[in-house]
A and B are shown apart, each in its own frame.
Chain A
Amino acid sequence: MENSYYNPKDLKKFAEIGEWDKALADKFFAWYGDVFADGALTAREKSLIALAVAHTVQCPYCIDAYASDCLQKGVSNEGMMEAIHVAAAIRGGSSLVHGVQMMNKVNKLSM
């Protein structure tokens, strides 16, 4: 067994998931490629969304991949930081907004 759950070299082996189920992997990678192509949103905008989501799901592979991709696509450092603040704001906000639920419950139970 590896002595760490995450190894940076494993990111390059992503395609190897196809060795155990090629049909599903092929479908996934084809769909993934289409998702990130230029469309109504540019590939650059999609890369920034991916970077923000990567921080939300806290996937180190995705953070490596989309920090590199954003750099390659010419996104400024400030642009990348703003994107992850958006992710952080949603994460923080999503906790805090449940405060209303907490208040509702407390109010219902209180005299």
Chain B
Amino acid sequence: MKSLHAQNKPLAEPAEQLAILAGAPFLEGQLPTFQNQLQSIGQWPLTPKKLEIFQVNLGYMCNQVCQHCHVDAGPDRKEIMTRQTMQACLEAMARSGAHTLDLTGGAPEMNPDFRWFVEEAAKIGVNDFIVRCNLTIVVANKKYNDLPQFFARHQVHVVSSLPYYEVQRTDRQRGEGVFHKSIEALRMLNAEGYGMPGSPLKLDLVYNPSGAFLPNNQQGLEADFKAALFRDYGIHFHQLFAITNMPISRYLEYLLASDNYEDYMDTLVRAFNPAAVENVMCRNTVSVGWDGRIFDCDFNQMLQLPCSTKAKHVEQLSPEDWNNRSIVVASHCYGCTAGSGSSCQGTLTNA
């Protein structure tokens, strides 16, 4: 399977995706736009809170081609962050006062300067240093086999996707063989102390639905995952984050191809939870693209929706400019406010 980008599919283009998101059923008034929804609860324009999280996308290259990927990542994607941009990220983070560094991709480990970046970032005193590891990268090639030891050495917090605790649903979403490779990688991480009860080496899993439905209660899912993964494979992990799939990129393509798009948008809108708006991640996060451009979130980055600040690049990022912006929204934002809410750190409310 290739990325939409490599297949030259129209949906590889952000403009095409934005046109769909702005079209029916929003254009015809069947569903309220996200802006209207925010206006109705007195939250328009959406404004930021204190900047806490630097989420840095190290590139779109990945060893997997997942069906739901909002990045359209894959082995054929060549966009990659340079060491110079990484340095600019570290400098911007130091002057921002943010306490969490969150590295994502693609598979961030495939960036040739990944280890350099982790080593440099570990020196600047980050409270929570997250790497979003897809698990299979650990066993994809001998050169990645020592990642658990490398992560442990730098006290990295590993956050990994596993959409289900059984083969079928995992492999249908993430590719043939991914489930068993993920289990192998989880065992290697557990062997290093990651995810073990009481261990300071944090290993959290991310659940996202393998289809056109919303995630259920995060605590209930966590209990199910813990019981099943320990019973069947002896695997331990700390927390489960339940994340809603965003109707963009490859997941949007899936929704359209399976004739689920309008129903899914309807479900997201009906599940709109004003309490989730309080904590949406765009309010305390800056998303930095592989080329150093800054965005309100990783999803806006993929849709190429520029943020409203004067500075558009991490080199010029100033906390004052960032904290006084209005956040750019569109229909995909309903993905973060449905039900209990959704963010890269899981649900946003206790509802």
- A residues neighboring B (CB under 8 Å): 12, 42-44, 68, 71-74, 76-77
Contacts and interface: CB of A to CB of B under 8 A. Distances in A.
Nearest to B168: A77
Contact of B213 (A43, A44, A68): A68
B221 interface: yes
Given A12-B266, A76-B166, A77-B168, A71 B211 contact: yes
Given A72-B209, A72-B214, 15 more contacts: A12-B270, A42-B220, A43-B220, A44-B220, A68-B213, A71-B213, A72-B213, A72-B215, A72-B216, A73-B220, A74-B164, A74-B216, A74-B220, A74-B221, A77-B168
A72 B221 CA distance: 10
Nearest to A71: B213
Interface in B166-208: 166, 168-169
Contacts of A68: 213
Contacts of A43: 220
B162 to A, nearest CB: 12
Contact of B216 (A73, A76, A77): A73
A26 B166 CA distance: 40
A49 B158 CA distance: 38
Contacts of B213: 68, 71-72
Given A12-B266, A76-B166, A77-B168, A71 B220 contact: no
Contacts of B166: 76
Interface in B224-281: 224, 266, 270
A74 B266 contact: no
B241 to A, nearest CB: 14
Given A44-B220, A76-B166, A77-B168, A71 B266 contact: no
A29 B223 CA distance: 29
Contacts of B220: 42-44, 73-74
Contacts of A74: 164, 216, 220-221, 224
Nearest to A73: B216
18 contacts: A12-B266, A12-B270, A42-B220, A44-B220, A68-B213, A71-B209, A72-B209, A72-B214, A72-B215, A73-B216, A74-B164, A74-B216, A74-B220, A74-B221, A74-B224, A76-B166, A76-B169, A77-B168
